[in-house]
């Protein structure tokens, strides 16, 4: 299988870390592709009409996209414990944490658009403040209300790759949340994280 990837995408990295954790990374042909809202990548568009990575190209040349969908597919292929629990409270806890991590990435990307990527004359300061506020309230919610111990799930992978991306992009961080910070520092030592370090810059 081929994974259309981007070395500075938290969504793509989530998939690759997941593949490492389930023993499937060696079976993926990982191909870096730059994508941008203003620059069309025809190879990516052929496999995903939204023009975004990650995209998983299957042996029959069909494709899957959206990081959670790809992870769900990969979770069906290995023999180990499922990282997306199939039922019960464990499933909803994992998916809720994944959604929180996804939201961190979404808010961070919108914040970067308003503070770095959009031409200065078109930036909206109040919108940027709102996105920064979402980051801080999400960190606080996880710090105070979300258990992070127990068996690894898709939620832990999504959270670790999101937090690492926040630091990579020098966005408002989670240093005021000691429990979350300690958890992140331990998780980032995992071989799956060390093998997939962020690099590169957005090219608009």
pLDDT, tens only, 144-170 = 999 999 999 999 999 999 999 999 999
Largest separation between any pair of C-alpha atoms in the chain = 53
Nearest-angstrom CA–CA distance, 65 and 186: 29
Q: Computed from CA positions of residues 156, 48, 135, 170, in that sequence, does the dihedral angle turn out positive or negative?
A: positive
The per-residue pLDDT for 38 is 87
* Helical (H) or strand (E) element with 121: none
CATH architecture group of domain 88-190: Up-down Bundle (1.20)
Per-residue pLDDT of the chain (204 residues; tens, 9 = 90+): 999 999 999 999 999 999 999 999 999 999 999 998 888 999 999 999 999 999 999 999 999 999 999 999 999 999 999 999 999 999 999 999 999 999 999 999 999 999 999 999 999 999 999 999 999 999 999 999 999 999 999 999 999 999 999 999 999 999 999 999 999 999 999 999 999 999 998 887
Tell me how far apart the alpha carbons of residues 100 and 104 are, in angstroms, rounded to a whole number: 6
pLDDT at 202: 85
Q: What CATH superfamily is the domain 2-75?
A: Glutaredoxin (3.40.30.10)
Calpha distance 171→136 (Å, rounded) = 11
> What gap in Å lies between CA 88 and CA 201, rounded to an integer?
40
Residue pair 43/94 in contact by the 8 Å Cβ criterion: no
Contact (Cβ atoms closer than 8 angstroms) between residue 51 and residue 35: yes
- Residue 87: per-residue pLDDT: 96
CA distance 54 to 168: 19
Where are the CATH 3.40.30.10 domain residues in the chain?
2-75
Residues of the chain with CATH 1.20.1050.10: 88-190
């Amino acid at each position: 299988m081929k994974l259309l990837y981007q070395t500075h995408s938290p969504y793509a990295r989530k998939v690759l870390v997941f593949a490492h954790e389930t023993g499937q990374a060696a079976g993926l042909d990982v191909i870096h592709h730059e994508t941008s809202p203003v620059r069309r990548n025809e190879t990516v568009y052929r496999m995903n009409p939204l023009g975004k990575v990650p995209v998983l190209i299957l042996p029959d040349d069909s494709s899957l996209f959206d990081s959670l969908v790809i992870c769900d597919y990969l979770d069906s292929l290995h023999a180990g414990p499922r990282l997306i629990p199939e039922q019960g409270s464990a499933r909803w806890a994992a998916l809720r944490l994944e959604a929180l991590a996804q939201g961190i990435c979404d808010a961070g990307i919108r914040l970067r658009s308003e503070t770095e990527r959009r031409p200065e004359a078109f930036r909206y300061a109040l919108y940027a403040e709102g996105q920064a506020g979402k980051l801080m309230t999400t960190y606080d919610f996880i710090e105070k209300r979300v258990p992070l111990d127990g068996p690894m799930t898709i939620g832990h992978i999504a959270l670790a790759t999101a937090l690492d991306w926040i630091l990579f992009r020098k966005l408002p961080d989670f240093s005021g949340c000691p429990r979350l910070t300690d958890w992140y520092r331990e998780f980032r030592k995992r071989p799956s994280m060390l093998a997939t370090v962020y690099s590169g810059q957005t090219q608009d």
